[in-house]
Structure 1
Amino acid sequence: MEFEFSGEIISWRGPAPYLFVPLPADVAADLREVASALTYGWGVIPVAARIGGTDWTTSLFPKDGGYLLGVKVAVQRAEGVGEGDRVQVRLVAGDLGASPA
C-alpha cells in the first residue's frame, strides 16, 4: 500500500524525546483495515518512507487510534527539518523491499 500526505512533525516524549509525523485520519483508517496482514506484532507496521530526497525504513506505531511515523535523526539532519515543520511524506506500508520513490 502506498500513500502520500503532508503532516507536521511533532515531539512525543516516551522514555526519550522522539520526532514523528502523525498520519492523517484517512490514511490511518485505510491502514487499520489491513493492519492485521501487515503488522509483525503489537500493531506496529513496517514501512519504507521518504521525506524530500531521503528514504528510510522504520515502523508505524499505533497511538490513540492513529499511527505515528518516526522521523530518524539522520532524516531530520539530511532534510533540515525538526519539530513544527510541515513535511511531504511518501510511504509504502508492509513491503520494506519497496521504494517510496
Structure 2
Amino acid sequence: MGEFEFEGHVVEWRGPAPFYFVRIPESDSADLKIAAAGVEYWGQVPVIVELDGVEFTTALFPKDGVYLLPLKDAVRKAADIQLGAVVSVTLTVGRPAAPRQNPF
C-alpha cells in the first residue's frame, strides 16, 4: 500500500482521560490520504507502525487536515516516550497480511 517515514512531536489531547498522539506532518498526511484510498473507514486509516523499536498496529485519526497517530500507554512505556518528544516513525498503510499477536 505505502510505507512512510517521518518525525513528529508527541502531543496530548485532554479529554476525560489524557490521550497521546504523534501529529503527522501535512505533506505526509496528504500522501497518506491518497495511499489510504480503499482502506479508509470513517476517516480512520489502519496502519502497521514501528516507533523507536516498538512495532504495533493501530488506526490514524484525521484532525484539522492532518492525521494523528495514537500512542497507547503500553507503547509509550515500551519505547520510553515522553510528552513533547520528537519520535521517528515508520508506518505502512493497511492491515497485516496474516494475523499477528499485538501486545498493545
TM-score scaled by structure 1?
0.87
Unaligned 5+ segments in structure 2 are 99-104
In the alignment, which residue of structure 2 is the partner of 1:55? 55
Equivalent pairs counted in the alignment come to: 97
Deviation for aligned residue 1:35: 3.1
Unaligned 5+ segments in structure 1 are none
RMSD: 1.5
- 4+ residue segments displaced more than 3 Å: none
In the alignment, which residue of structure 2 is the partner of 1:82? 82
- Distance in 2 between the 1:97 and 1:19 partners? 27
Secondary structure of the structure 2 residue equivalent to 1:57: strand
- Distance in 2 between the 1:94 and 1:22 partners? 19
Give the counterpart letter for 2:15 in structure 1: G
Report % sequence identity.
45
In the alignment, which residue of structure 2 is the partner of 1:97? 97
- Distance in 2 between the 1:76 and 1:21 partners? 11
